[in-house]
Amino acid sequence: MRHGVARFVTGFLALPVALYLFYVVWPFVQAAGYSLTDWGGYSDTQKFVGLDNYVRLFKDELVRTAFWHNVFFLVMLPLVTIALALFLAFLLNVGGRGGRAGIRGVFGSGLYKVIFFFPITLSLVVIAVMWKAVYRSDDQGLINGVLMKVGLVDRDNPIAFVVDPEPFLGVPAVLWWLLLIAVWSGTGFYMVLFSAAMQSIPRDIYEAALLDGASRVHTFFRVTLPLLRDTVSVAWVYLGFIALDMFALVYVMTPDQGGPNHTSEIFASVIQFTAFRKGQFGYACAIAVALAIFTMLLAAAQLRITRRERIEF
Domain coordinates in residue numbering, the chain: 54-306
- Report the relative pairing of strands 167-168 and 171-172 from DSSP bridges: antiparallel
Those residues with Cβ within 8 angstroms of residue 126's Cβ, 6 or more apart along the chain or in another chain: none
Question: Which span out of 68-72, 90-94, 133-137 was modeled with the highest average pLDDT?
Answer: 68-72
CATH architecture of 54-306: Orthogonal Bundle (1.10)
pLDDT score at 233: 85
pLDDT score at 312: 56
Q: What is the mean pLDDT of residues 274-292?
A: 87
The predicted-structure confidence for 137-186, as pLDDT tens digits, reads as follows 877 878 888 888 887 877 777 887 888 778 888 888 888 999 999 999 88
How far apart are alpha carbons 41 and 44 in whole angstroms?
8
pLDDT score at 308: 62
> Could you tell me if 164 and 156 are in contact, meaning their C-beta atoms sit under 8 angstroms apart?
no
DSSP labels, 28-62? HHHHHHHTTB---SSSS---B-TTHHHHHHHH-HH
pLDDT score at 95: 62
Query: In sequence order, what are the beta bridge partners of 168?
Result: 171
Q: What are phi and psi of 48, to 5 degrees?
A: -70, 125
User: Where residue 82 falls among pLDDT bands split at 50, 70, 90?
Assistant: very high
For residues 25 and 10, the model is more confident at 25
The predicted-structure confidence for 110-120, as pLDDT tens digits, reads as follows 777 788 888 88
DSSP labels, 219-273? HIIIIIHHHTHHHHHHHHHHHHHHHTT-HHHHHHHSGGGT-STTTT--HHHHHHI
User: Where residue 76 falls among pLDDT bands split at 50, 70, 90?
Assistant: very high
pLDDT score at 253: 85
